[in-house]
């Protein structure tokens, strides 16, 4: 049994980041509902438990609480932010509301030695996000470090291997945050490095063969990283038993459908069926401005079109399994399990949206993986760079990059502008070095000048971000000369655009996509 670090999710926006940082250390992590029974964790081979942060207060009437028996499992426990307040209160300490909410960067001053902080400088900058704080420690605990507003920013009970930190080491803003996580994994939990790409592929191929047998699998192929790697894994496992369907929603990038056919049908020799449904999607989206309604409409239309094609294939060709490129963040963000307090950030139409009447058995080989792990698997499987390292593209396509009402005219403007941006990023050798670069259409008219005439036209925003896993991101700094070239080309070559602006927001507080 693979040894697992359990992350109990109390609704923090950073829960996925915690799990991902652990995986970066080649240790398997899994996110659990906050109330998961201790016996379930024991049965899963958990060797360490992390209590995530959360948006709530321990004083709230329905404050999420863990099974108190987790503190009797004999494994190290690390509480982060809400997690340390919760642990402190459960084990006999006292928590109070802070007079001043501590949010953003603060200075951590280390006062005593701790295995959790081994090798760190005496002072470092850390990221805080809390309104409550510990004011009295539980029996057996000692204070290790403090911040400006918290005397007990790091606490520990080394006999029982319980640790608590008031800040967030998992976010990139915290200095030496990864060192703290490594200290917990290897210095305190003594966890081996047991999570490698080769092991995952070998295990997953065997699982697919065992599940599918001689049956046939149908996969919705978008051409993005997730569906491509999913197709490669399925093909490695079952070969010609795989059929792929590509739905042209009309919300794709310039020449997307032609490129998909060229790459997968002609180059990889995959059985690919293309469905043109652009008119249907545009009709359903007409006049819709609300982002979540857009996502639901796009998801519903996709399922409808896909289901129709699938019903046809199932009747004629006897396909009984459905493959999906669902990855771990999709699962976590889209499914609020058993009263999970996390607010839904956005919906995904590729998770949990399949009508039960289709009566397919699901095959989701990437369900355990974060985005960069998917890329590693694709590389190991021999997929070309232009597929594996293609920048992420949202399931709803350009539907979430046209702010406001979606029309064919607006989509065409966005497609042309985005094609120019990608061309220039490629020519500058930066496309594969930056996590994501794309254009956003803004429904804002702006005065410009074309020749000697005033021009009242649209605005395009450039969104260029650096990230590892899309859980946190910062805007990418590229040469001003390149920005100027991109802007000049868009305003000169794309009819209907008078102005180009640059989005310099980080995640958090902003998201990567605008909708």
d(C-alpha 304, C-alpha 268), whole Å = 28
Q: Is 215 annotated as a binding residue?
A: no
Q: To 5 degrees, how large is the angle CA 122–CA 51–CA 170?
A: 45
Q: How do the domains of the chain map onto residue ranges?
A: 4-188, 197-331+361-388, 403-503
pLDDT, residue 150, reads 81
DSSP result, 236-283: HHHGGGEEEEEEE-S-SPTTHHHHHIIIIIIIS---EEEEE-HHHHHH
d(C-alpha 10, C-alpha 336), whole Å = 11
| Overall average pLDDT of the 45-62 stretch | 88
SS3 for 104-168, per residue?
Answer: EEEEEEECCCCHHHCCCCCEEEEEEEEEEEEEECCCCCEEEEEECCEEEEEEEECCCCEEEECCC
Instruction: Write the pLDDT tens digit of every residue in 371-423.
Output: 889 999 999 998 888 889 888 888 899 999 999 999 999 999 999 999 999 99
- CATH number at 4-188: 3.40.50.880
d(C-alpha 383, C-alpha 386), whole Å = 8
- Which of 241, 242, 245 is CA-nearest to residue 257? 245
d(C-alpha 170, C-alpha 181), whole Å = 8
Q: Provide the angle, in degrees to the nearest 10, between the axes of the packed helices 197-212 and 225-238.
A: 60
DSSP-derived 3-state class of residue 33: strand
Q: Is 225 annotated as a binding residue?
A: yes
Instruction: Write the pLDDT tens digit of every residue in 80-112.
Output: 988 999 999 999 998 887 665 666 788 999 999
Q: Is 155 annotated as a binding residue?
A: no
Determine which one of 170, 175, 256, 424 is catalytic: 170
End-to-end CA, the chain: 41
Q: To 5 degrees, how large is the angle CA 235–CA 236–CA 237?
A: 90
CB neighbour burial string for 33-72, b if at least 16 within 10 angstroms, e if fewer: bbebebeebeebebbbbbbbbbebebeeeebbebbeebbe
DSSP-derived 3-state class of residue 414: helix
Query: Is pLDDT larger for residue 335 or for residue 43?
Result: 43
Structure tokens at 230: 């999913």
Contact predicate 247/223, CB 8 Å: no
Q: To 5 degrees, how large is the angle CA 475–CA 479–CA 485?
A: 105
d(C-alpha 337, C-alpha 320), whole Å = 27
Determine which one of 81, 230, 244, 439 is catalytic: 81
CA–CA distance from 322 to each of 114, 202, 231, 327, 350 (Å)?
Answer: 50, 21, 11, 15, 12
Q: Is 44 annotated as a binding residue?
A: no
d(C-alpha 302, C-alpha 353), whole Å = 10
- Which of 470, 459, 460, 474 is CA-nearest to residue 504? 474
pLDDT, residue 352, reads 42
pLDDT at residue 68 above 70?
yes
Q: Is 226 annotated as a binding residue?
A: yes
Do the first three CATH levels of 197-331+361-388 and 403-503 match, i.e. the same topology?
A: no
For this structure, is 81 an active site residue?
A: yes
Determine which one of 25, 33, 100, 168 is catalytic: 168
Residues with Cβ < 8 Å from 303, sequence gap 6 or more? 349, 353, 354, 355
- 112: phi > 0 → left, psi -120 to 50 → alpha, else beta; which? beta
Contact predicate 95/58, CB 8 Å: yes
- CATH number at 197-331+361-388: 3.40.50.620
Query: Comparing 104-108, 151-155, 177-181, 431-435, which segment has the lowest mean pLDDT?
Result: 104-108
Structure tokens at 502: 């640059």
d(C-alpha 201, C-alpha 490), whole Å = 43
CA–CA distance from 380 to each of 66, 374, 510 (Å)?
Answer: 39, 10, 33
The model's confidence at residue 209, banded by pLDDT at 50, 70 and 90, is very high
| Overall average pLDDT of the 53-61 stretch | 81
Instruction: Write the pLDDT tens digit of every residue in 478-509.
Output: 999 999 999 999 999 999 898 999 999 999 88
For this structure, is 170 an active site residue?
A: yes
* Whole-number average pLDDT of the chain: 88
d(C-alpha 168, C-alpha 130), whole Å = 10
CATH class of 403-503: alpha beta
d(C-alpha 62, C-alpha 46), whole Å = 27
For this structure, is 244 an active site residue?
A: no
Contact predicate 180/194, CB 8 Å: no
d(C-alpha 199, C-alpha 236), whole Å = 15
Burial (CB count within 10 angstroms: exposed 0-12, middle 13-18, buried 19+), residue 452: exposed
Instruction: Write the pLDDT tens digit of every residue in 226-273.
Output: 999 999 899 899 988 999 999 999 999 999 999 888 887 777 788 899
Q: HSE-up of 81 (CA within 13 Å, CB side)?
A: 30
pLDDT at residue 360 above 70?
yes
DSSP state for residue 447 in the 8-state scheme: E
User: Which pTM value belongs to this model?
Assistant: 0.70
The model's confidence at residue 341, banded by pLDDT at 50, 70 and 90, is very low
């Amino acid at each position: 049994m693979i040894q697992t670090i359990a992350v109990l999710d109390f609704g923090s926006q950073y829960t996925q980041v915690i799990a991902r940082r652990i995986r970066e250390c080649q240790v398997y992590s899994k996110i659990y509902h906050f109330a998961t029974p201790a016996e379930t964790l024991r049965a899963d081979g958990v060797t360490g438990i992390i209590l995530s942060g959360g948006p709530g207060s321990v004083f709230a009437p329905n404050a999420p609480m863990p099974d108190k028996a987790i503190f009797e499992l004999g494994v190290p426990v690390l509480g982060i932010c809400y997690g340390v307040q919760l642990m402190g209160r459960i084990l006999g300490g006292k928590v109070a509301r802070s007079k001043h909410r501590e949010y953003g960067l603060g200075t951590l001053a280390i006062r005593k030695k701790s295995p959790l902080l081994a090798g760190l400088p005496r002072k470092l900058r850390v990221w805080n996000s809390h309104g409550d704080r510990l004011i009295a420690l539980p029996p057996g605990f000692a204070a290790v470090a403090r911040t400006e507003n918290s005397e007990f920013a790091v606490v520990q009970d080394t006999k029982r291997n319980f640790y608590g930190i008031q800040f967030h080491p998992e976010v990139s803003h915290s200095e030496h945050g990864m060192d703290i996580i490594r200290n917990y994994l290897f210095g305190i939990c003594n966890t081996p490095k047991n999570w490698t790409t080769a092991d995952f592929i070998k295990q997953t191929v065997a699982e697919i063969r065992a599940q599918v047998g001689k049956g046939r699998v149908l996969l919705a192929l978008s051409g993005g990283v997730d569906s491509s790697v999913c197709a490669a894994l399925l093909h490695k496992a079952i070969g010609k038993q795989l059929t792929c369907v590509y739905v042209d929603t009309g919300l794709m990038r310039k020449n997307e459908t032609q490129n998909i056919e060229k790459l997968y049908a002609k180059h990889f020799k995959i059985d690919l069926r293309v469905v043109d449904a652009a008119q249907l999607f545009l009709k359903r989206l007409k006049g819709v401005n609300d982002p979540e309604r857009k996502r639901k409409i796009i998801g519903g239309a996709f399922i409808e079109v896909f289901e129709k094609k699938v019903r046809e294939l199932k009747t004629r060709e006897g396909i009984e399994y459905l493959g999906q490129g669902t990855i771990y963040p999709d699962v976590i963000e889209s499914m609020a399990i058993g009263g999970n307090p996390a607010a839904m950030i956005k919906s995904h139409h590729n998770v949990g949206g399949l009508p039960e009447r289709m009566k397919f058995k699901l095959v989701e080989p990437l369900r355990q993986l974060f985005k960069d792990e998917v890329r590693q698997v694709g590389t190991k499987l021999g997929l070309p760079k232009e597929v594996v390292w293609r920048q992420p593209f949202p399931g709803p396509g350009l539907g979430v990059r046209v702010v406001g009402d979606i029309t064919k005219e607006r989509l065409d403007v966005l497609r042309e502008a985005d094609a120019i941006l990608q061309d220039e990023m490629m020519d500058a050798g930066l496309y594969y070095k930056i996590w994501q670069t794309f254009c956003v259409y803004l429904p804002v008219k702006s005065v410009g000048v074309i020749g000697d005439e005033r021009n009242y036209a649209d605005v395009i925003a450039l969104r260029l971000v650096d990230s590892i896993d899309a859980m946190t991101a910062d805007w990418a700094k590229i040469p001003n000369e390149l920005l100027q070239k991109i802007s000049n080309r868009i305003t000169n070559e794309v009819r209907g655009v008078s102005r180009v602006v640059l989005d310099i927001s980080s995640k958090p507080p902003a998201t990567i996509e605008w909708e």
